[in-house]
Amino acid sequence: MKRIIIIILVMAIQSVKGFGQNKMLNVEYEIFYNTDIPNTQYANLFVNESKEESIYIKKSDSKVNKQVKREEDNSISITYKSKRSSATYFNFKKDTLISSENVFGEEYLITEKTPKMHWELIDETKVKDAITLSKAICEFRGRKYIAWYALEFPLKYGPWKLHGLPGLIFEVYDETKRYNWYLKKLNYETLDESVFVMDTQKAKIIDIKEYAKIKYNTESTDEKLLTKMPRGTTIVSSQVFRNGLEIKFEWEK
């Protein structure tokens, strides 16, 4: 069955039947957030190379159920079913990035074109688990990232929105070491293409500029805060501190 991108945007269904089974890459990352409350999380990056698409799903934000089925030809097929509130979907052929996020208790699907990442390739390598990793540096939305990628795996994918290197990203962190990703395992599996469907029905679809306004605009923040407080509450002044992954966008001076 031919999958149309609008299915992903409209979110009209919770599960999609009829998708094909293909060998796809499943990359598992360990994430260390050195934030006010340091914590470790895990994520899966699924890559469909033939369609130039990927989806990154944080396990802490979703319950991922792995279903293994033996087919009539004795092959094994694997299906991942999940209800997730945080995912990042790339479709490079359509120049599309769709990410989901909860802001002030509301679910949003944020659409944008594939961000341009201007990596500087550094003449420096290191070996990890017998794999040679090369270094690259890039500034993206207010943070400077140091990445280690493997030319042995010539894939442009990586965790979250980080992409565009000549090899799969094995390790990446921002220069403050606030956000850190480490590849733990990778393998090819026969996956159901429905894993690429973001099935959050209640999410509101907005573009990246509207998302930034909702998340970081002071007036918008005050309105959201008031809805969570007792009737009659007033806010004298508030200030939004940007300390997340994206703290400055391309259109901001």
DSSP track, 70-134: E-TTS-EEEEEEEEES-EEEEETTTTEEEEEEEETTEEEEEEEPPPP--PEEEEEEEEETTEEEE
218: left (phi over 0), alpha (psi -120 to 50) or beta: alpha
Residue with tokens 């395992």: 185
Using DSSP, state whether 51 is helix, strand or coil: helix
Structural domain boundaries of the chain? 5-196
Asked if residue 216 has pLDDT above 90, the reply is no
Asked if residue 3 has pLDDT above 50, the reply is no
CATH ID of 5-196, from 2.40.160, 1.10.3470, 1.10.490, 2.50.20: 2.50.20
What are 134's strand-pairing partners?
A: 125, 149
Render pLDDT for 29-64 as a digit per residue (tens, 0 to 9).
999 999 888 889 999 999 999 899 999 999 854 444
Look at residue 36 in the predicted model and tell me its pLDDT.
Answer: 82
